[in-house]
Copies of this chain bind each other. A is one copy, B any other.
Amino acid sequence: MSRVLNNVGPIKSETKEKVLRAAKKIGYVPSALAQQFARKKSGNIGVVLPHVPKVHLFSAYYFSEILSGIGEVAQSNDYNLLLIYRDLSGKRDYSTLFRAQKIDACIMLGSQNIPEERAALAELQKQNYPFCLVNQRFDEEDYCTVDADHIEGSRLVVEHLIHQGYRKIAMLNGPLSYSNSEDRYKGYIAALEQHKLHSTLEYADELYYEGNYSRKSGYETASLLAEKIKQSDIDAVFAANDRMAIGLMNGLKEFNLEAGTDYGLVGYDNSDGSRIVSPPLTTVEVPFYEMGRQAAKLVLQTLENDKSTLSQKSVLQINLIPRESS
């Protein structure tokens, strides 16, 4: 009987027990399929993520942590996690997932500010489908977002470097289509200006580099930086993630430049890698697991309340982890 399992309506406790015993006896397990159909809810929350193995720009660590956070909240709320790898062809049709009732809500990982993505998200918003972006903001839009305070994180990095005595601090950023990258740049600039270290023009030209978050791109930047470091035009580098920092570190080793002694180096993410390179990499800890949990909580709340929280924005605090590379 549906009523006893779902505790709906008044039931004599005696009858309830009888039903439960009978159900147990015949090994009755309700069909999730039929339930979903009757309730018109799939009970799935979709997690969209880029196809990592081909594009090795994101660290597995990053997704694994966020995903686990989402998974914890989802499971304890009786929701399932539906994994959706973003179409390789670049087509982004999230709203069909909702219309087909495959998912009730959606969490986006590794999203970036490009036209197709903006269009796809706008469509979702328009249809009032609940979704949440993790680690990516769209400032002009009112999307539900969970982010970390990368501006502050980057400020801390630069202040740390300054405190360690470095003065000519370069930045190796990722693509600006990620709000992440933008934020890090803002924090970087803010800290520099606060300490009156550079005029705006200078670092735009001389101290700012852009990779694509891959280790390779960090490695390749080494040849651009080596000479400047040797001539003391640059004495420290802030890389926007650990992968690029590590690539750069290894690249500069080939120029006989050691992080921590010949120049300062700071990464970002506190990935596994940052601990095992030598010297260990100073980095910024981002609470990915917690971000996953928050995102899941937000979309689930939206599902319950039917409204509100739909455009809530959550910003988590970060944490500098000083190690020997700076």
Chain B residues near A277 (CB, 8 Å)? 276-278
Q: Residue A246 at the B interface, CB < 8 A?
A: yes
Contact of A37 among B37, B52, B72, B96 (CB under 8 A): B37
- Which residues of A are in contact with B by a Cβ distance under 8 Å? 27, 29-34, 36-37, 40, 42, 44, 47, 51-53, 59-61, 63-65, 67-69, 71-72, 75, 80-85, 96, 99-102, 215, 246, 250, 253, 272-273, 276-278, 289
- If A83-B81, A215-B276 touch, does A33 touch B101 (CB 8 Å cutoff)? yes
Contacts of A47 in B (CB 8 A): 83
Q: Are A101 and B61 in contact (CB under 8 A)?
A: no
Q: How far is the CB of A35 from chain B (nearest CB, A)?
A: 9
Q: When the two chains form their complex, are residues B246 and A276 in contact, meaning their CB atoms are under 8 A apart?
A: yes
Cβ contact of A29, chosen from B40, B85, B96, cutoff 8 A: B96
**What's the nearest-Cβ distance from chain B to residue A273, in Å?**
6
Contact (Cβ within 8 A) B83 A71: yes
Contacts of A253 in B (CB 8 A): 278
Residue of B nearest to A50 (CB): B68
Among the listed B31, B69, B85, which residue makes an inter-chain contact with A68, where contact means beta carbons less than 8 Å apart?
A: B85
Nearest-CB distance from A296 to chain B (Å)? 12
Closest chain B residue to A292, Cβ basis: B53
In the complex, which residues of chain B have a beta carbon less than 8 angstroms from the beta carbon of A75? 85
Chain B residues near A52: list those with CB within 8 A: 64, 68
In the complex, the chain B residue whose C-beta lies closest to that of A215 is B276
* Chain B residue contacts of A64, Cβ below 8 A: 52-53, 60, 63-64
Closest chain B residue to A273, Cβ basis: B276
23 A-B contact pairs sorted by A residue (CB < 8 Å): A29-B99, A31-B100, A32-B102, A33-B33, A33-B36, A33-B37, A51-B72, A52-B64, A59-B60, A60-B60, A60-B63, A71-B85, A81-B82, A82-B82, A82-B83, A246-B276, A250-B276, A250-B278, A272-B272, A272-B273, A273-B273, A273-B276, A277-B278
